[in-house]
């Protein structure tokens, strides 16, 4: 690619929506697919604890579901990155999209399996099986999405490139919860209503999954794919982990701590709003009259507000990173991640207070483009998928038990032999411990984190 071509295709960080159709074709198609799948993920994933609770799952089972998701998140990215480096992004992402859509379908059918075999509910079991498939595009495709951006923009503009794709992805994160809120609005908080409303949400997710898969397969141009070496098994995993670029190691340690903390409580955010605080929304609007939203519907509004703030700050943050470096922007995002749990669990039972709090939470996304640039920036061309996969493999393996630990602290536990209650459970304790761990991770990164050379030199 010539210098003139590079300059012509650099994303404009101030106006990504206007510049969207001027981006490299690969990034454009990736952004469309991200929008479609992110819409499905955001509508379903953030409500999964509520869905499982309505189907009869305990806090511990919900925590185990989160930990199972962490296992998948740890296992999938590396082989996904290796597959994308070897086969090319087009066919990899198409396959991952089809599998994800099938996973949404299994979640949709789960309530039909309302049978208990011993201690196991087949409905809850189907939720776990569906997760194995539904995570495919998000986790298997992680390396492919990073590699597409890396091969499409110059090194000093990586944060801007990721900001462009993230902006469209987060637009889906804004639209998705609003769709979910609209679907939940006519229903009550009764378990049967929650299940039915969530099934309607899954139908929407399946439609967008099909659209996203077809769009990326038909529109993506594979001619620009860079191919890495053939996957050589476990020995290659060990080699790639040993060869992880040195600047990534302090970032990885801080990220692990922050993500462990977030993983302890993330799946329970919806339950804090719908069951712990039980905050809905009642408004009297001129010409419309009284509007009353259940906590489930209001949670969707809160998520939409969170994403609106994220969209407003993400692009300016990418521009700021070009002036001050990636590290300060990433650290600011880590800090918001860290303190949000204690702020949420200690919030008053007020719709306005929650609105302000979730708006604040949106600031954590300001650091995501810089974070991604800091991960993939040091990678060699043709190895972006494997470097990304190696990084997330290490991070996500350590984070695996976080949600189960959060579930134990939230719901308590008993001696399995005697049935004696050993700990009654305390949501406030769970969220407090999460904040402490997150702050430790943020502090570590501030002390030892390294800057990406292309940003440190101002090139």
Specify the pLDDT at position 12.
47
Closest CA relative to residue 310, chosen from 354, 364, 372: 364
pTM for the model: 0.82
pLDDT at 261 over 80: yes
pLDDT digits (tens, 9 = 90+) for 111-170: 999 888 767 789 999 999 999 999 877 765 555 556 656 666 666 666 566 666 666 677
Burial of residue 343 (CB within 10 Å: 0-12, 13-18, 19+) is: middle
pLDDT digits (tens, 9 = 90+) for 27-77: 666 667 778 888 888 889 899 999 999 999 999 999 999 999 988 877 776
pLDDT at 14 over 50: no
Closest CA relative to residue 203, chosen from 46, 39, 34, 56: 39
Candidate ranges 3-17, 108-122, 210-224; pick with highest mean pLDDT: 108-122
pLDDT digits (tens, 9 = 90+) for 285-341: 777 778 889 999 999 999 999 989 988 887 788 788 878 888 899 999 999 999 999
Which residues make Cβ contacts (< 8 Å) with residue 365, sequence separation at least 6? 166, 170, 307, 309, 310, 313, 314, 333
Task: Please give the CATH number for the structural domain made up of 24-281+288-456.
Answer: 1.20.1250.20
Torsion over CA of 396, 397, 398 and 401, rounded to 10 degrees?
90
Closest CA relative to residue 62, chosen from 45, 38, 42: 45
pLDDT digits (tens, 9 = 90+) for 366-376: 888 788 878 87
> What string of DSSP letters covers 423-443?
E---HHHHHHHHHHHHHHHHH
pLDDT at 191 over 60: yes
Which residues make Cβ contacts (< 8 Å) with residue 204, sequence separation at least 6? 39, 40, 43, 179, 183
pLDDT digits (tens, 9 = 90+) for 397-448: 899 999 999 999 999 888 777 878 888 889 999 999 999 999 999 999 999 9
Cα(385)–Cα(15) distance, integer angstroms: 28
- Tokens 């229903």: give the residue: 187
Residue 39 near residue 172, CB atoms below 8 Å: yes
Cα(118)–Cα(120) distance, integer angstroms: 6
Over residues 356-385, the mean pLDDT reads 77
């Amino acid at each position: 690619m010539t210098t003139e071509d590079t300059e012509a295709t650099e994303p404009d960080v101030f106006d990504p929506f206007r510049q969207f159709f001027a981006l490299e074709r690969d990034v454009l198609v990736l952004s469309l697919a991200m929008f479609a799948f992110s819409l499905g993920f955001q509508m379903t994933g953030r409500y999964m604890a509520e869905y499982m609770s309505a189907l009869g799952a305990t806090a511990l089972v919900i925590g185990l579901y989160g930990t199972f998701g962490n296992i998948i998140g740890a296992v999938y990215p590396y082989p996904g990155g290796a597959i994308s480096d070897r086969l090319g992004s087009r066919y990899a992402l198409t396959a991952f999209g089809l599998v994800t859509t099938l996973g949404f379908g299994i979640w949709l059918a789960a309530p039909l399996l309302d049978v208990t075999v011993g201690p196991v509910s087949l409905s809850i079991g189907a939720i776990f099986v569906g997760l194995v498939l539904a995570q495919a595009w998000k986790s298997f495709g992680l390396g492919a999405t990073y590699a597409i951006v890396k091969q499409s923009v110059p090194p000093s503009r990586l944060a801007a490139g990721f900001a462009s794709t993230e902006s469209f992805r987060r637009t889906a994160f804004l639209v998705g919860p609003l769709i979910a809120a609209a679907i939940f609005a006519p229903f009550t908080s009764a378990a049967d209503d929650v299940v039915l409303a969530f099934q309607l949400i899954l139908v929407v997710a399946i439609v967008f999954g099909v659209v996203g898969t077809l769009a990326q397969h038909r529109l993506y141009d594979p001619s620009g794919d860079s191919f890495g070496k053939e996957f050589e098994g476990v020995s290659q995993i060990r080699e790639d982990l040993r060869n992880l670029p040195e600047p990534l190691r302090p970032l990885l340690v801080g990220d692990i701590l922050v993500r462990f903390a977030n993983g302890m409580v993330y799946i329970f955010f919806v339950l804090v709003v719908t069951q712990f605080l039980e905050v809905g929304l009642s408004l009297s609007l001129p010409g419309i009259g009284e509007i009353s939203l259940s906590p489930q519907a209001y949670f969707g509004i809160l998520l939409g507000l969170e994403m609106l703030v994220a969209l407003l700050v993400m692009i300016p943050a990418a521009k700021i990173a070009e002036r001050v470096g990636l590290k300060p922007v990433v650290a600011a995002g880590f800090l918001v991640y860290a303190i949000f749990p204690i702020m949420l669990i200690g919030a008053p039972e007020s719709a306005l207070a929650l609105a302000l709090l979730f708006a604040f939470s949106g600031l954590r996304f300001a650091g995501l483009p810089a974070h991604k640039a800091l991960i993939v920036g040091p990678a060699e061309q043709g190895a972006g998928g494997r470097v990304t996969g190696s990084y997330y493999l290490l991070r996500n393996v350590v984070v695996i038990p976080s949600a189960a630990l959060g579930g134990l602290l939230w719901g308590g536990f008993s001696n399995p032999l005697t049935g004696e209650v050993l700990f009654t459970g305390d949501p406030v304790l769970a969220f407090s411990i999460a904040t402490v761990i997150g702050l430790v991770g943020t502090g570590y990164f501030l002390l030892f984190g390294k800057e990406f050379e292309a940003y440190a030199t101002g090139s």
